[in-house]
Amino acid sequence: MKSMIARPARHIPERTCVICREKKAKRELIRLVRTEDGSVEVDTMGRRSGRGAYLCQKQECWRLGLKGKRLDAALKTSISRERRAELERLSHEMFDGSG
């Protein structure tokens, strides 16, 4: 008979949405990263090098993040108007207009 040794629970990394400040499992959030050239991109794998910030998978958090300066502050950069528009279009595609 094999002994029943309890394994410790696996650690699940948590991150905080920079807008609503909710803590969630890292995989439940979407990471934005400031690249070496200063642009801001969505990091789908969560592994790109560069300063990162996390947003919920809620349209409202994306809307507020792209409207205000909190995302800029978290990434320590100034997101261009053109890049904001691109990220906004992307968020509409991701969420299909739902929130």
Confidence of residue 5 (pLDDT cuts 50, 70, 90): confident
Long-range pairs, 82-88, Cβ under 8 A, ≥24:
83/39, 83/40, 87/32, 87/40, 87/42, 87/62, 88/62, 88/63
- Higher pLDDT residue, 1 or 18? 18
Q: Can you tell me the distance from the alpha carbon of 58 to that of 30, in angstroms, rounded to the nearest whole number?
A: 10
For residue 99, pLDDT over 80 is answered with no
Give the pLDDT confidence of 16-74 residue by residue, as tens digits: 999 999 999 999 999 999 999 999 999 989 899 999 999 999 999 999 999 999 999 99
For residue 97, pLDDT over 70 is answered with no
Architecture of domain 14-95: 2-Layer Sandwich (3.30)
pTM of the model: 0.84
Q: Average pLDDT in the 82-95 region? A: 93
Q: So what's the pLDDT on residue 42? A: 96
Q: So what's the pLDDT on residue 2? A: 61
